[in-house]
Copies of this chain bind each other. A is one copy, B any other.
Amino acid sequence: MNSKIVIIFLSLTFFVHAQDDTAQIKNIYSTSLTNGKSYEWLRYLSNEIGGRLSGSLNAELAVEYTKNELEQLGLDKVWLQLVMVPKWVRGNPEFAYIETEPGKTIPVNLCALGGSVSTPLQGLKAELIEVQGIEDLNTKNRADVEGKIVFFNRPMQADLISTFEAYGGCVDQRYDGAKEAAKLGAVGTIVRSMNLRLDDLPHTGAMSYGNTPVHERIPSAAISTNDAERLSGILKIEPKIKFYFKQNCKQLKDVQSYNVIGEITGSQYPNEIIIVGGHLDSWDLGDGSHDDGAGCVQSMDVLRLLKETGVRPKRTIRVVLFMNEENGLRGGRKYAEVAKKKGEKHIFALESDSGGFTPRGFSFDGPDYKINQILNWKPLFEPYLIHYFKKGGSGADIGPLKNDNLVLAGLRPDSQRYFDHHHAANDTFDAVNKRELELGAATMTSLIYLIDKYGFNDIQHQSKIKD
């Protein structure tokens, strides 16, 4: 053939493929919206099981439930991967108040941060010092801080469009606050909840003492945004008021748990592995519907939707429900460790861990030429209002897999409401919209379908033809 004929032939091939892909993706979306399973799975995880803190009975029930459900899908393999996880327990409900003068108290909604030590049995009462974050704390003298409770009150920045960016700019107060405050002799820390709304719910989340010696660790808790505003207001008038809180959380010994894994083995390239996942554990205050029940059930439905729409994958498609993202990342680390040990070749990993809201697109981490190849598919997603394809983070659980060749990706749903619910008692099933969840599952399935169909070498080829 001469080069003109080659070009015509290849263009025609691409055209036929693009037509196929358009129809297949339409089928995926229609099937998810009219015959999806994600919402029913999430209802069970949320309402029949509930919050799934690592090491809890609920977490084990969730392992059992999702394994059973995957087994019913007729996958080629379903298995559990043993992971040792930390077991932190909240204990009795926390109790807190502001004491404006002896005997005059104002109740405060407070929750222990995950990983925190308890207060003394009788609770902890001290004066406060309010700071606008760790940098601000480090401008203080030991004399300003010693014997006090440090009140971290830097709000999330409201004029950022991505609420994840606003979270990223604030969460060090929660994670490292106690460690830093202890260095200056503080007796405890409270942090303004990572929440852009003003409401009454405290939001928990992980904190770390780093290498602070055990006897120097101070209890650390979050208070609601409304309480943070109120407390800050009172402190401006009465800097000598006291704050009381009591919590009896504790860190127990590590226990056994599992990543739940299922796969459709590739028909042509079984050794090229594509994974899609979320994390099965959650915090304990709500039922973990958005964080990250949604990501788990969407990932499970990716494999089911491929089967339902008649796709027989060329490559191995694996769903991984990771254990212990919230307070340890042990599941993600274990999965990567085992994959490395076995010499498995992962070509693509997608995580959904940003809530079950209307999907807007994906962010990618990996070699530019591979990401650019994916960008060529943008037009296929346009009918579904999926428009966001950018370099950026992917997901915590798939992070340990990172290498120079692998493309990691994160589903990017609309982020505006996420931190209203994140790690709080209102992260519940009723806050998830069925269609939004299903659109997310369809969006993930469509991308996995394309990656499987073209692989990365094929894509490079296609992209040249298209240009």
Which residue numbers of A lie inside 8 Å of B, CB to CB? 29-30, 33-34, 158-159, 161, 163, 196-197, 358, 360, 383-385, 387-388, 414, 416-417, 420, 433-436, 439
By a CB distance below 8 angstroms, the chain B residues around A436 are 416-417
Q: Which of B33, B384, B388, B414 contacts A158 (CB 8 A)?
A: B33
Query: How far is A196 from B436 in the complex, measured between Cα atoms in Å?
Result: 12
Query: How far is A388 from B163 in the complex, measured between Cα atoms in Å?
Result: 21
Query: How far is A158 from B434 in the complex, measured between Cα atoms in Å?
Result: 11
Shortest Cβ distance from A234 into chain B, in angstroms? 23
Query: How far is A163 from B33 in the complex, measured between Cα atoms in Å?
Result: 12
Pairs A-B, 5 closest by C-beta atoms: A30-B159, A387-B387, A33-B159, A416-B435, A33-B158
How many copies of this chain are found per oligomer? 2
Q: List 13 A-B contacts (CB under 8 A).
A: A29-B161, A30-B159, A34-B158, A34-B159, A158-B435, A161-B383, A161-B384, A197-B434, A358-B358, A387-B387, A414-B414, A416-B439, A420-B433
By a CB distance below 8 angstroms, the chain B residues around A163 are 435
By a CB distance below 8 angstroms, the chain B residues around A34 are 158-159
Shortest Cβ distance from A166 into chain B, in angstroms? 10
Q: Is the pair A161, B385 in contact by a Cβ cutoff of 8 Å?
A: yes
- Identify 4 new A-B residue pairs, CB closer than 8 A, beyond the known A30-B159, A33-B159, A414-B414: A34-B159, A161-B383, A161-B384, A416-B436
Q: Is the pair A388, B385 in contact by a Cβ cutoff of 8 Å?
A: yes
Query: How far is A434 from B197 in the complex, measured between Cα atoms in Å?
Result: 8
Most buried by B among A197, A383, A385: A385
Shortest Cβ distance from A460 into chain B, in angstroms? 27
Q: Is the pair B388, A417 in contact by a Cβ cutoff of 8 Å?
A: no
By a CB distance below 8 angstroms, the chain B residues around A417 are 433, 436
Query: How far is A33 from B196 in the complex, measured between Cα atoms in Å?
Result: 11
Query: How far is A461 from B384 in the complex, measured between Cα atoms in Å?
Result: 34
Can you name the residue of chain B whose Cβ is closest to the Cβ of A384?
A: B161
Query: How far is A123 from B368 in the complex, measured between Cα atoms in Å?
Result: 69
Query: How far is A439 from B158 in the complex, measured between Cα atoms in Å?
Result: 11
Query: How far is A49 from B467 in the complex, measured between Cα atoms in Å?
Result: 58
Shortest Cβ distance from A31 into chain B, in angstroms? 8
Q: Is the pair B416, A159 in contact by a Cβ cutoff of 8 Å?
A: no
By a CB distance below 8 angstroms, the chain B residues around A414 are 358, 414
Can you name the residue of chain B whose Cβ is closest to the Cβ of A387?
A: B387
Query: How far is A387 from B414 in the complex, measured between Cα atoms in Å?
Result: 13
Q: Is the pair B439, A29 in contact by a Cβ cutoff of 8 Å?
A: no
Shortest Cβ distance from A109 into chain B, in angstroms? 18
Most buried by B among A159, A388, A434: A159
Can you name the residue of chain B whose Cβ is closest to the Cβ of A196?
A: B435
Query: How far is A435 from B357 in the complex, measured between Cα atoms in Å?
Result: 15
By a CB distance below 8 angstroms, the chain B residues around A383 are 161
Question: Given A33-B159, A433-B420, A436-B417, A360–B388 Cβ distance below 8 Å?
Answer: no
By a CB distance below 8 angstroms, the chain B residues around A158 are 33-34, 435
Query: How far is A34 from B157 in the complex, measured between Cα atoms in Å?
Result: 9
